[in-house]
C-alpha cells in the first residue's frame, strides 16, 4: 500500500507539472527558416529560402507540397527541418504554399492547380534564375501533382524527386485506398462545395484511431514534464489539426480519376485537354518512400519507376511512417544529404537563359470562374 500511495503521489505531481507546462505554452513557432515571398497568385504563395552556403546549387529546387496539409511540416522547427538541412547541403530552395481555399475556390480543378498555379510558379523561378529547367521535389499529393507536371512539361524539369507520392492507386495496402474506392465523393462535394479540412482530418484520424487518438496521448504523459518535449508535442498537434479545406472539383477528380479509376498509371488521365503520358518523363528520377507508410504504402509509390522512360532512375526507402520520414532523427541525418547529393551530381552544368516565351498564364481562379460561367 505504501508503494502504491507513493506512485500515485508521483503520478499526480507529474500530471500537475504537465498541465502547468501545457497551459503556459500560448504559441509555438513553425517554419522559422528565413525566406522571402517572391510570387503570389490568388491564394498561392511562392517563397524563396535564403541560402545557407556561399555557392548554392546552380539549379534551383522547387518543393511542391500536398493540398491536404500545411507545408511547414518541411520546416517544422530548427532541429527538425528538411528545408534547413537541404539548405545546409547547398540547395537553392523555393517552396509553394497553397493557402486555405475559400468558398469562391470550389470550382478550381486539377488543371487549374497543375497547368495554372504550379506552371506559373515554375515559370517565375525560371525567369528569376534565367534557366530553362529547374529541379522539382513533390511530396505526397504534391508528388502526384509533380509527376503529372513533369509528364506535361518535361522541357521545364531537369531532375524529378518524389517523396511518399501515390502513383498506382490500385492497392489494398492501407485503409485509405480501400475507403476512397467506396467513398461517394460526388455527394460530399455537392454538399460542401469546398470540403472542410476538419472533415478530411477526421477521416485520416479514423484510419488508425487507437494510435492517433488514444495511444499518443497516454504515452505523452510520461514525457510532458519536460518543457522542450511539451513544446514539440504542441507543435506537432498544431500541424495535424491545421488542415486546409479542399477545392471541390479538385478532390472530386482526384478521388474519381485516381483512387477509383487509377487513370494515372494507365496513362489515361486527362488534365484539361491533355492526356498524361508517364513515358514522357525522361529526366533523372529519384523516388523515395517510407516502409511503414499507412497513407501512401510502398505499393502505391514504387511502380512509378517502371512507368517512366527515364534511364537514370533511383529508388530509396526509409524506415518509418508517412510523417516520420520528414521529421525523424534518421531523416535529419540521412534523407536530406541523400537528396542533396543526388541533385548536386545532376545539376552541374549551367543552362542557357530562359526562353522569352516562358511567361505566366492567366489566373487559374479567373479561368475556373470563366469556365463555370460558360
Write down the pTM of the prediction: 0.84
User: pLDDT at position 283, please?
Assistant: 98
- Catalytic pick among 140, 148, 180, 300: 140
Residue 330's SS3 state is: helix
Report residue 154: phi and psi, to 5°.
Answer: -65, -20
Distances (CA, A) of 58 to 32, 129, 155, 222: 24, 9, 17, 47
pLDDT tens digits for 294-313? 888 999 999 999 999 999 99
140 is catalytic: yes
More confident residue, 323 or 317: 317
Instruction: Decide if pLDDT at 351 tops 80.
Output: no
The lowest-confidence range among 59-63, 158-162, 228-232, 312-316 is 228-232
More confident residue, 6 or 103: 103
More confident residue, 233 or 103: 103
Residue 95's SS3 state is: strand
User: pLDDT at position 292, please?
Assistant: 84
User: pLDDT at position 129, please?
Assistant: 94
In whole angstroms, what is the distance from residue 342 CA to residue 161 CA? 9
User: pLDDT at position 39, please?
Assistant: 97
Tell how strand 93-97 and strand 44-49 pair up.
Answer: antiparallel
The lowest-confidence range among 12-21, 123-132, 258-267 is 12-21
Amino acid at each position: 500500500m505504501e508503494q502504491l500511495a507513493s506512485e500515485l503521489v508521483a503520478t499526480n505531481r507529474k500530471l500537475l507539472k504537465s498541465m502547468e507546462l501545457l497551459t503556459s505554452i500560448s504559441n509555438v513557432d513553425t517554419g522559422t527558416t528565413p525566406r522571402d515571398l517572391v510570387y503570389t497568385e490568388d491564394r498561392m504563395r511562392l517563397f524563396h529560402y535564403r541560402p545557407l552556403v556561399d555557392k548554392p546549387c546552380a539549379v534551383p529546387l522547387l518543393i511542391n507540397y500536398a493540398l491536404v496539409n500545411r507545408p511547414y511540416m518541411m520546416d517544422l522547427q530548427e532541429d527538425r527541418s528538411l528545408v534547413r538541412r537541404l539548405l545546409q547541403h547547398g540547395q537553392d530552395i523555393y517552396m509553394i504554399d497553397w493557402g486555405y481555399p475559400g468558398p469562391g475556390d470550389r470550382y478550381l480543378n486539377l488543371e487549374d492547380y497543375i497547368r495554372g498555379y504550379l506552371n506559373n510558379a515554375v515559370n517565375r523561378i525560371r525567369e528569376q534564375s534565367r534557366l530553362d529547367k529547374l529541379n522539382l521535389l513533390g511530396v505526397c499529393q504534391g508528388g502526384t501533382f509533380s509527376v503529372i507536371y513533369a509528364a506535361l512539361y518535361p522541357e521545364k524539369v531537369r531532375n524529378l524527386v518524389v517523396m511518399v507520392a501515390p502513383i498506382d492507386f490500385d492497392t489494398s495496402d492501407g485503409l485509405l485506398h480501400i475507403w476512397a474506392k467506396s467513398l461517394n465523393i460526388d455527394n460530399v462535394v455537392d454538399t460542401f462545395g469546398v470540403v472542410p479540412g476538419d472533415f478530411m482530418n477526421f477521416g485520416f484520424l479514423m484510419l488508425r484511431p487507437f494510435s492517433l487518438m488514444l495511444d499518443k496521448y497516454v504515452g505523452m504523459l510520461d514525457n510532458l514534464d519536460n518543457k522542450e518535449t511539451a513544446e514539440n508535442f504542441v507543435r506537432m498537434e498544431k500541424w495535424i489539426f491545421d488542415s486546409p479545406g479542399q477545392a471541390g472539383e479538385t478532390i472530386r477528380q482526384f478521388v474519381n480519376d485516381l483512387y477509383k479509376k487509377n487513370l494515372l498509371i494507365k496513362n489515361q488521365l486527362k488534365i484539361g485537354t491533355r492526356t498524361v503520358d508517364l513515358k514522357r518523363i525522361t529526366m533523372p528520377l529519384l523516388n523515395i518512400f517510407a516502409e511503414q507508410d499507412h497513407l501512401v504504402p510502398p505499393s502505391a509509390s514504387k511502380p512509378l519507376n517502371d512507368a517512366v522512360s527515364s534511364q537514370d532512375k533511383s529508388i530509396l526507402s526509409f524506415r518509418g511512417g508517412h510523417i516520420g520520414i520528414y521529421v525523424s532523427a534518421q531523416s535529419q541525418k540521412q534523407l536530406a544529404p541523400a537528396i542533396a547529393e543526388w541533385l548536386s551530381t545532376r545539376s552541374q552544368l549551367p543552362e542557357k537563359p530562359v526562353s522569352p516565351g516562358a511567361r505566366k498564364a492567366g489566373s487559374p481562379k479567373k479561368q475556373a470562374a470563366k469556365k463555370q460561367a460558360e
